[in-house]
Structure 1
Amino acid sequence: MQKIKNVDSVLFKFVIFGAAGTMALGNVGVSPVIPEIEKFFSDVPHIDFLSKFILTLPALFTLLFAPLVGYLMDKYNRLGFVLLGMFIWALSGMAGIWLENIYWMLFSRAILGVGTAALVVGIPVLIGDYYSGDKKDKALGLMGFAQVFGGAVLIAISGFLGQLGWHYAFWVYAIEIIALLAAFFILFEPERKAEQAGDNKEAFSLLKFTFLYLIGFILYLTFMSMPIQMPYLLKIVLGKDPQTIGLIIATVIFVAAFSPLFYAKIKQKISVPVIFFLCFVVMAVGFVMAGTLENTAGVIIGGMLAGGSFSVAIINATSHLFTLAPLTQRAKAYGVFGMLLAFGQFISPLFSQSLVNAFGLQAMFVICAGVLLFLGLVSLFLKKGVAT
């Protein structure tokens, strides 16, 4: 079968953005059943912390492997590592179907992180290579939509499967097998030879990406507190069951998915630092609403505001990073970015649970809002460092 090299074709877009959609499932795919897993392993010491690492341990190994993957992708090729990552991701994600030992389960989640490293670096970089200019911004917006929309649908499925037993929720990772086969037959390795000679003359430097790296880290540190702690907020404060929790989280993500589709138009009218500022303010409002209103509508609306603005902020950072990075250094630059996103994800349960233990579950949401407001103000004062 001859591969399609028309990156604007419907089939090609369906495959590349479909792969991006499954990528979003990695860490939070089984979040609706985390309280049930914690109950099942209630005799295990410190299970309140260990259960949350089911969601975030993959981020540690993404953190460790993302820079290496980025280096190898720039040195060799992009697509081969993406396909390998999809294979690892599918097998390790499905391992929870059969495992009944919390430590073996955490081991499988660590392997999932290795596969995730190839996906979170490789898929955005492939999209950045396939498209340029306004098409790149539109493509990144579609990627953001696919990630959030795919996550919403798959988390909802996970919640329904979880009603049969928490083991069944892990079947949702089987979707990656289909995505892998489609990517193998349709996607192709981008051409980079035309720009390679000129790009190689410029030494790689992390300094020009510093503020973007800081933004990405804090965004994931704070935002990941929401999917980690929201199931407990819904169960403890509002008394919801796992299926309802899954539907509420999926609804929040589903509606928020559409915000990235407007990114290209937003960027035409608003500068990069102002986009960051507005996103942080809206995220802060969403966190306050979700944490303090004590009703289902408040949680849903607050979650949608936080999720939608988070998606736009991450795309804004990614687009600007691709603008700053030469073509042959793009994967290395994004590899470090992916590492810091993963680091934010990994320490988010420690960050959020420590705040919950010290100040209470609802206060944690308010504190995260304060951090986001501060970062928004910093992005304006330091706008010369990120302005286009």
Structure 2
Amino acid sequence: MKIQTGHGTITLTALLAIYSISMVTSLPGLAISPILGDLEHIFKGASDLELQMLESLPSFIIVPFILLAGRLSLHVNKKRILIIGLAIFFGCSVVYPFSNSLALLLVISALLGIGAGMIIPFSTGLIADNFSKRYRTRQLGIASSITNLTLVLATFLAGVLADINWHYAFLVYCLSGISLLFAFKLDSTPRTVAPQTTTASTTPSASSTKHNWPVSLMLLYYFITFLVLTVPFNLSIYMETMKHYKDPDIAGTLISVFFLAMTIPGFFINNIISVLKTYTNFIALCAIAVGFILFILKAGPVILTIGIILIGLGYGAMQPIIYDKTSSSTVESHATFALALVMSMNYVAIITYPFITQWLQDLFSTDASYFPFLLSMILGGAFAVYAYFRRNSAALGMQTQS
């Protein structure tokens, strides 16, 4: 079966291989989540720093290796880089369940971060290589949705396995084995769009923008990721202190709803852009801001669920659009590197979010559980206004693709 790309076709097997990479990118750190509360009992005598590193180390390692893999993609065969990254990741998934030493787990976590960093740029980079125009937009939306959907399902699976034995939670990483098998089916030299002839009048402007780092898109992706991280980072504390819900399963369910909401827009991204046009990012930011407003109003669980869905939908719509604009704003040979730069901002936001929010809480002398939600509401609302007036700009504007 052949799949249309906008400039030819690729096989269904190759497309499934690309999808499987998107599935792996959401896995780092998942196995630790369901055993966080038990780590002190599992590793008696371990310091708080060591336990925190077990959770955060992969994210720290991922960032430089995303950039390294993106840079290498300019000179080294992409399939080779991808297979090496998947082999490292899968190797870690095999060793993880047999590890009883915290020191060994930290070493494996670091190696997992290396493997993940080498994989992540290609979840979108291979789509940029193989698809163009609206076909690329659609596939980036689907890939984004697969990443978010896998996050929900794998988190649930890790929790179920952890209830049996904490070692078994690490088995979720074995999903990378599917991606590794599929990776060998990829073309070593993916087909790309034939370069277009440029005229003398267009060459200067093109050359001045094509090779620059996508700084505005990097900042945009960091900003919206920073906003929505308020939900997974602070929801459980908010529900306990503000709503007096002591059952952690309630917060866990709402976080799952949040990630599920993020998956929906990606499957319909072309339709969304077709209807909303230049207002797409503005309306997405409005949805995020309104979602946080419902938290500030201290509404009931049904209204809070609506708020969480709005936040998830807004972020889920902007994510593939940012990927698409990144790939379309650079020359084809540099698309993977540009996407690596942008995607690294997701992990930079995860790493910096706790420090920035804590600094702001200290600055305003508050430890109120609603403060992060208030902060995200203000920032989201202000940026929505900015996006309205900048809806035709390079980063926030939308161009219809045939």
TM-score of the pair, normalised by structure 2: 0.81
**Residue from 356, 359, 370 that aligns with 1:362:** 370
Q: Which has the larger radius of gyration?
A: 2
Provide the C-alpha distance between the structure 2 equivalents of 1:119 and 1:257, rounded to a whole number of angstroms: 21
Q: What is residue 27 of structure 2 aligned with on the other side?
A: 25
**Which of the numbers 232, 239, 244 marks the counterpart of 2:246?**
239
2:40 and 2:211 map into 1 onto residues whose CA distance is 40
Structure 2 CA distance, aligned partners of 1:316 and 1:29?
Answer: 29
Q: CA deviation at 1:95?
A: 5.0
The answer on 1:164 being equivalent to 2:170 is no
- The gaps in structure 1 that reach 5 residues or longer are none
Alignment of 1:19-58 (within 5 A): 19-28=21-30, 30-37=32-39, 40=42, 44-46=46-48, 51=51, 53-58=53-58
The unaligned stretches of length 5 or more in structure 2 are none
- Share of identical aligned residues, percent? 17
Q: Structure 2: how far apart are the matches of 1:195 and 1:300?
A: 47
**Match in the other structure for 1:260:** 266
Q: 2-side partners of 1:45 and 1:310: how far apart? A: 36
Q: CA deviation at 1:142?
A: 0.8
Cα drift, residue 318 of structure 1: 0.8
SS at match of 1:359: coil
Residue type of the alignment partner of 1:286 = G
Q: What letter is aligned with 2:312?
A: G
Residue pair 1:291, 1:366 contacting (<8 A) in 2 also:
yes
Q: In 1, are the aligned partners of 2:262 and 2:312 still within 8 Å (CA)?
A: yes
In structure 2, the residue matched to 1:285 is: 290
Choose which of 267, 276, 298 in structure 2 pairs with 1:270.
Answer: 276
After TM superposition, the structure 1 = structure 2 runs for residues 345-356 of structure 1, keeping only pairs within 5 Å, are 345-352=350-357
CA–CA separation in structure 2 for the residues paired with 1:100 and 1:197:
60
Q: Deviations over 1:111-144 (max 9, x none)?
A: 2222222222112010111111111111111111
**Partner residue, 1:333:** 338
TM-score by length of 1: 0.83
Given residue 168 of structure 2, which amino acid in structure 1 is its aligned partner?
Y
| Aligned-residue CA RMSD (Å) | 3.4
More helix as a share of residues: 1
C-alpha distance in structure 1 between counterparts of 2:100 and 2:237, whole Å? 23
Structure 2 CA distance for partners of 1:186 and 1:320, relative to 1, 3 Å: closer
Separation in structure 1 between the aligned mates of residue 167 and residue 253 of structure 2, nearest angstrom = 18
Change (3 A) 1:30 1:291: farther
Counterpart of 1:64 in structure 2 is 64
Give secondary structure in 2 for the equivalent of 1:361.
coil
Q: Secondary structure at the match of 2:73?
A: helix
Shift of 1:261: 1.3
